[in-house]
Amino acid sequence: MKLAWEKLQSFDRRWLFLAMGLAIALPLMFEFTMPFTTSPRVRALYDEIETLPPGTQVLLAIDYDPASKPELEPFARAVLRQLLLRRCRVVLMTLWDKAPPIVMALIEDIIEGEHDRHRGLFEGRDDPPLRYGVDYVFFGFKEGKEIVIAGLGQSFRQIYPADYRERPVGQLPIMNGINRLSDFPLIVEVSAGFPGTKEWVQQVVTRYGLRYAAATTSVSVTELSPYYPRQMFSLVGGMRGAAEYEKLVGQVGLATRGLNVLTVGHVVIVLAITMGNVIYFKTRKRKRGAR
């Protein structure tokens, strides 16, 4: 027994990596579902969008790169679907240089693939295909981080004189009546870090009292929680928050499927932490006894 504890203390951590790999891969192969509830933090955004009248211009800032896709993309897809179901007009932009291909894929999959072809949640609806520049627009990437955010608060058109396709902003009907951020009835940001939610809140949300909601990676949730609910009325955190949003929108997606696996992964981590502590205290007790 004495030797066993000693051996466990020098346990090769690669076995733990293997256990975690299996804990993720196996539940994905054998699909199962676990119940979960939606939190007020997430429901606030869903309820807000449900009250928006058709034609409302909503700014959707996609500030993440491929590294954070698993956590944030399911939410981005779910919220875009809901906005289109409510017939809102969507203005897309990004402050991350690696995000434009992600936004183009969103447009291709959700707007052109699902909405315009009446697939998925849009099945059975008689909505005409959405027109670029009228129903949706993408303004592309802009370098400058928080300076750009502050500039958008003063003049959107000065920061973005043209869209991603080099069309002047004056020729885009979707931008009628929009001169600065405060002209948007709702701003939704999907953020993986810097520049992201913190900079939006600091530079423009607090200053201009904007109606602002954010979806962030799990790592950022504790840091951003003090802003909820006064400076941002909704905070969707990580894959769990995205799964809640998918549930509200009514389409089981990758986040819902991933959430079940997440639970198994957490069990492995908790077991590893417990085991590590037990080994530590057992060996410490014996060392003290030996003295």
Assess 155 for contact with other proteins (CB under 8 A). Answer: no
Alpha-carbon distance of 208 to 214, in angstroms, equals 16
Q: How far is the CB of 235 from other proteins (least distance, A)?
A: 12
Sheet strands (E) in the chain: 57-63, 89-94, 136-141, 186-191, 212-216, 234-237
Residue of 33, 179, 218, 274 interacting with other proteins (CB under 8 A)? 218
71 binds other proteins (CB under 8 A): yes
Q: 118 by DSSP, 3-state: which?
A: coil
The binder of other proteins chosen from 82, 191, 197, 203 (CB under 8 A): 203
Q: Does 143 bind other proteins (CB under 8 A)?
A: yes
Q: Rounded to 5 degrees, what are φ and ψ at 187?
A: -125, 125
Nearest to 240 by CA among 121, 50, 72: 72
Nearer to other proteins, 79 or 151 (CB): 151
Distance CA 96, CA 64 (A): 6
Minimum distance between the CB of residue 238 and other proteins, rounded to whole angstroms?
6
Quote the CA–CA distance of 181 and 172 in Å, as a whole number. 17
**Token pair for 6:** 């000693």
**How far is Cα 153 from Cα 203, in angstroms, rounded to an integer?**
8
Q: Which residues pair with 186 in a beta bridge?
A: 58
Only segment of 75-83, 174-182, 183-191, 238-246 that touches other proteins (CB under 8 A): 238-246
Do 204 and 152 form a contact (C-beta atoms < 8 A)? yes
Work out whether 206 is an interface residue with other proteins (CB under 8 A): yes
Pull the structure tokens for residue 72.
């944030």
Return phi, psi of residue 112, to 5°.
Answer: -80, -40
Residue type (1 letter), 126: D
Identify which range of 1-9, 32-40, 226-234, 278-286 contacts other proteins by CB under 8 A.
226-234
First CA to last CA distance, the chain: 19
Instruction: Say whether residue 105 binds other proteins (CB under 8 A).
Output: no
Report the candidate in 135, 142, 166 with the shortest Cα–Cα distance to residue 94.
142
User: Which of 91, 214, 239, 248 is the binder for other proteins (CB under 8 A)?
Assistant: 239
Q: 122, 138, 139, 141: which one contacts other proteins (CB under 8 A)? A: 141
- In the complex, minimum distance from the CB of residue 224 to other proteins, in angstroms, rounded to a whole number: 10
| Binding piece for other proteins, criterion CB under 8 A, among 44-52, 85-93, 121-129, 259-267 | 259-267
The residue behind tokens 């009446």 is 118
Residues in contact with other proteins, total (CB under 8 A)? Answer: 50
Instruction: Give whichever of 45 and 95 is closer to other proteins, judged by the CB atom.
Output: 95
Q: Under the criterion CB under 8 A, does residue 25 sit at the interface with other proteins?
A: yes
- Tell me if 287 contacts other proteins by CB under 8 A: no
* List of residues contacting other proteins (CB under 8 A): 14, 17, 20-21, 24-25, 28-29, 67-71, 97-98, 140-143, 146-147, 150, 201-203, 205-207, 217-219, 221-223, 226-227, 230-231, 237-240, 254, 257-258, 261-262, 265-266, 269
